[in-house]
Amino acid sequence: EVPKDAVDKISLLVKGEDYTFTRGDDVVKGTHKLDASKKPKTIDAVRSEGEGKGKPLLGIYELTDDAYKVCFGPPGGDRPTEFVSKPGSKVRLIVMKREKP
């Protein structure tokens, strides 16, 4: 679990297939493809720079009016099948709330 002061410094900006994920001073950019026809819905992301550049991140996602939930396996690893991250698994579960305008 991430401390609250660190959570307040996290943001995600998506434009088309491009994304920018910011955590404090760290910025990760890349591209992603969504498949809403699968159950659960799938996301394939690839970082365009930095650590893990070019390695696929396979995940699942759920999008509601005010929240985005995504669960990724490790870079180059298998796609998770459920929204669970167990200690030591290297699976990342992230839940983000939409910023109010």
Q: Which of 41, 8, 13, 17 is nearest to 27 (CA)?
A: 13
Tens of pLDDT, residue by residue over 72-101, are 999 889 999 999 999 998 999 988 888 777
Give start and end residues of each alpha helix (H) in 1-101. Answer: 4-7
Instruction: Give the whole-angstrom CA distance, residue 97 versus residue 40.
Output: 20
pTM above 0.85, yes or no: no
To the nearest whole percent, how much of the chain has pLDDT over 70? 91
Residues in the chain: 101
Peptide bond into 80 cis (omega under 30): no
The phi, psi pair for 14, rounded to 5°, reads -120, 130
